[in-house]
């Protein structure tokens, strides 16, 4: 109904008002979204108290291994190797490494060690993880248990002294006892020796 007191609305004026309101809504949305992307690592660190783990794994030849005095305490110790064997089962390392023979994870009983076969390198692999599947367990497993796992893993390829390696397992087996297996020097993925190199 038309009233002489009210002027008629111009369609162009209505479109202009709708466009202005729409532009303001889009601008407000964009400004709100910018606040969402505020990335301040110092602020995040102070709020959570956690620090992101940084690995020393980089492309190219591995840097030299820094000797860790704890490695000598665990490497040739029969009790630590036995504990590492138990932890290997308890943490379900068998799920990927199939009792050291390899499954979806690499075999641990041969002489090819992609990231190095020294105690320090094995410890680092377990604690920090590796690309393509090996998860990092450093925040989930205590360091002493990681060293025991490393001692056991190193012994799988016959690199434990025969007097430190137990000759009988907890279960029946048809395999030759590991303390009677000839040691195999670990080699890198390219077939070169990894002695004295990092992963």
Q: What is the CATH number of domain 69-166?
A: 1.10.760.10
Q: How far is CA 130 from CA 28, 78, 106, 153, in A?
A: 44, 28, 12, 16
Report how far residue 177's alpha carbon sits from residue 165's, in angstroms, rounded to the nearest whole number. 9
Mean pLDDT value across the chain: 75
Which contiguous run of DSSP H or E holds residue 127? helix 119-128
pTM, rounded to two decimals: 0.56
The predicted-structure confidence for 71-93, as pLDDT tens digits, reads as follows 888 888 888 888 998 999 999 89
**The pLDDT value given to residue 37:** 55
Give domain limits for the chain: 69-166
Q: How far is CA 195 from CA 61, 65, 158, 164, 170, in A?
A: 13, 9, 15, 21, 32
Q: Which residue has the higher pLDDT, 169 or 143?
A: 143
């Amino acid at each position: 109904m038309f009233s002489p007191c009210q002027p008629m609305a111009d369609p162009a004026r209505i479109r202009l008002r709708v466009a202005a309101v729409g532009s303001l809504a889009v601008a407000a949305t964009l400004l709100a979204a910018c606040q969402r992307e505020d990335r301040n690592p110092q602020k995040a660190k102070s709020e959570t108290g956690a620090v992101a783990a940084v690995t020393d794994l980089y492309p190219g030849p591995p840097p030299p291994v820094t000797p860790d005095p704890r490695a000598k305490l665990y490497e040739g110790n029969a009790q630590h190797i036995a504990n590492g064997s138990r932890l290997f089962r308890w943490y379900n390392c068998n799920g990927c490494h199939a009792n050291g023979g390899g499954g979806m994870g690499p075999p641990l009983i041969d002489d090819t060690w992609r990231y190095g076969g020294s105690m320090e390198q094995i410890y680092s692999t377990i604690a920090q993880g590796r690309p393509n599947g090996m998860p990092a367990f450093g925040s989930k497993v205590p360091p002493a248990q990681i060293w025991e796992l490393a001692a056991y893993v190193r012994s799988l390829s016959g690199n434990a002294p025969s007097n430190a390696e137990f000759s009988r397992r907890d279960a029946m087996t048809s395999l030759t006892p590991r303390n009677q297996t000839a040691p195999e020097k670990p080699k890198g993925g390219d077939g070169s020796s990894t002695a004295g190199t990092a992963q």
